[in-house]
């Protein structure tokens, strides 16, 4: 009987062990720490701390500043995800049809991918600088009284523009490979059946790209929530009036600028729950409509 138990080889566990260890060290352990910390009032140096139940949550969640930040995060994430996906899809479909110089087109569209978000932010900063920025002058010359230092809509415009620009190339790569995965025979059959390019796109290409699109939606929402941090930090820093501060950026400023560990942890726990809920919704309700 004992032999039967040992027949279950431990080798598979060994293979996944590195991944499990990484998850434990870099996700589970810090997450547990954040939850624990969110119930404490502790001075920055860790010399004294007291257990206060939900005081940190009460003090920091649902305050005006938090609600403003949450509202901006939702609008920002929606815009960044939608615009960067839509643009990337358009570019991919068009680039896929190009025959002359196709490689050049594709390379040009891809290479923004190699730019780190903070660098993209710094470039945007230069372009929108009120004293020397070309885009700043251009927008004002077009008759838009543009001032992202003062106007929260304009500041939002800047961060969305940079975040989208940075992300389009990633999405483009995935869409392009998705398009190339559509069998030639299907495309030819569709071309015989239907003359309209647009109609063929919506009835054939778009549904066949659905798995890619779904994957990218998940990735892009995560990007908008978390990775745009670098862009916001280097462009607006949350200004004006905290109107471009995403929830992650607020966690950072409260925790790492203001040294309020408890309040910052409480916010990060709430953020974690929000993203968890969002992911569950995506997989339960949207993935069902995707045909692989």
d(CA 284, CA 273): 16
Which DSSP helix (H) or strand (E) runs through 2? helix 2-6
- Cβ atoms of 68 and 242 within 8 Å: the answer is yes
d(CA 72, CA 47): 36
3-state SS, 232-251, equals HHHCCCCCCCCCCCCHHHHH
Helix, strand and coil content of the chain, in percent to the nearest 5, comes to: 75, 0, 25
Task: Write down the least CB distance from residue 259 to another protein, Å.
Answer: 6
Q: Does 200 bind another protein (CB under 8 A)?
A: no
Other CB atoms closer than 10 Å to residue 211's CB: what's the count? Answer: 15
- Cβ atoms of 198 and 90 within 8 Å: the answer is no
The residue from 11, 14, 114, 131 that contacts another protein (CB under 8 A) is 131
The number of residues that bind another protein (CB under 8 A) is 35
Task: Write down the least CB distance from residue 29 to another protein, Å.
Answer: 16
d(CA 205, CA 179): 8
d(CA 292, CA 283): 14
Please say which residue, 76 or 128, places its beta carbon nearer to another protein. 128
Structure tokens at 110: 């891809």
Q: Does 41 bind another protein (CB under 8 A)?
A: yes
The residue from 16, 29, 30, 43 that contacts another protein (CB under 8 A) is 43
Structure tokens at 136: 């700043």
The residue from 1, 2, 19, 45 that contacts another protein (CB under 8 A) is 45
The residue from 46, 101, 143, 183 that contacts another protein (CB under 8 A) is 46
Q: Does 47 bind another protein (CB under 8 A)?
A: yes
Please say which residue, 129 or 222, places its beta carbon nearer to another protein. 129
Q: Does 3 bind another protein (CB under 8 A)?
A: no
Contact map string, positions 91 to 130, toward another protein, x by CB under 8 A: --------------------------------------xx
The residue from 21, 24, 31, 44 that contacts another protein (CB under 8 A) is 44
Burial environment of residue 25 by CB neighbours within 10 A (0 to 12, 13 to 18, 19 or more): exposed
Please choose, out of 60-68, 174-182, 213-221, 271-279, the segment that lies near another protein by the rule CB under 8 A. Answer: 60-68
d(CA 120, CA 175): 22
Contact map string, positions 146 to 185, toward another protein, x by CB under 8 A: ---xxxx---------------------------------
Contact map string, positions 219 to 258, toward another protein, x by CB under 8 A: ------------------x-xxxx----------xx-xxx
Distances (CA, A) of 66 to 131, 153, 249: 32, 18, 11
Residues within the interface to another protein (CB under 8 A): 41-48, 52, 55, 59, 63-65, 129-131, 149-152, 237, 239-242, 253-254, 256-260, 262-263
């Amino acid at each position: 009987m004992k032999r039967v138990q040992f027949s279950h080889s431990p080798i598979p566990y060994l293979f996944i062990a590195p991944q499990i260890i990484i998850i434990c060290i870099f996700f589970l352990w810090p997450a547990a720490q954040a939850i624990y910390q969110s119930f404490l009032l502790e001075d920055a140096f860790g010399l004294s701390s007291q257990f206060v139940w939900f005081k940190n949550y009460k003090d920091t969640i649902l305050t005006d500043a938090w609600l403003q930040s949450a509202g901006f995060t939702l609008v920002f994430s929606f815009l960044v995800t939608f615009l960067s996906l839509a643009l990337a899809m358009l570019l991919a479909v068009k680039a896929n049809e190009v025959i002359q110089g196709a490689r050049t087109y594709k390379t040009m569209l891809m290479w923004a991918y190699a730019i780190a978000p903070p660098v993209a932010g710094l470039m945007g900063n230069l372009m929108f600088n009120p004293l020397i920025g070309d885009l700043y002058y251009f927008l004002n010359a077009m008759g838009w009284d543009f001032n992202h230092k003062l106007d929260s809509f304009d500041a939002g415009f800047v961060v969305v523009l940079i975040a989208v620009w940075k992300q389009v190339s990633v999405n483009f790569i995935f869409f392009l490979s998705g398009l190339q995965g559509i069998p030639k025979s299907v495309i030819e059959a569709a071309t015989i059946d239907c003359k309209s390019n647009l109609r063929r796109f919506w009835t054939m290409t778009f549904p066949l790209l659905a798995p890619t699109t779904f994957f990218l939606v998940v990735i892009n929402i995560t990007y908008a929530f978390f990775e745009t941090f670098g862009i916001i930090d280097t462009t607006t820093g949350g200004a004006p009036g905290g109107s471009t501060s995403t929830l992650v950026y607020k966690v950072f400023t409260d925790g790492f600028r203001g040294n309020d560990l408890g309040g910052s942890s409480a916010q990060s726990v709430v953020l974690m729950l929000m993203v968890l809920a969002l992911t569950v919704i995506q997989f339960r309700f949207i993935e069902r409509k995707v045909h692989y």
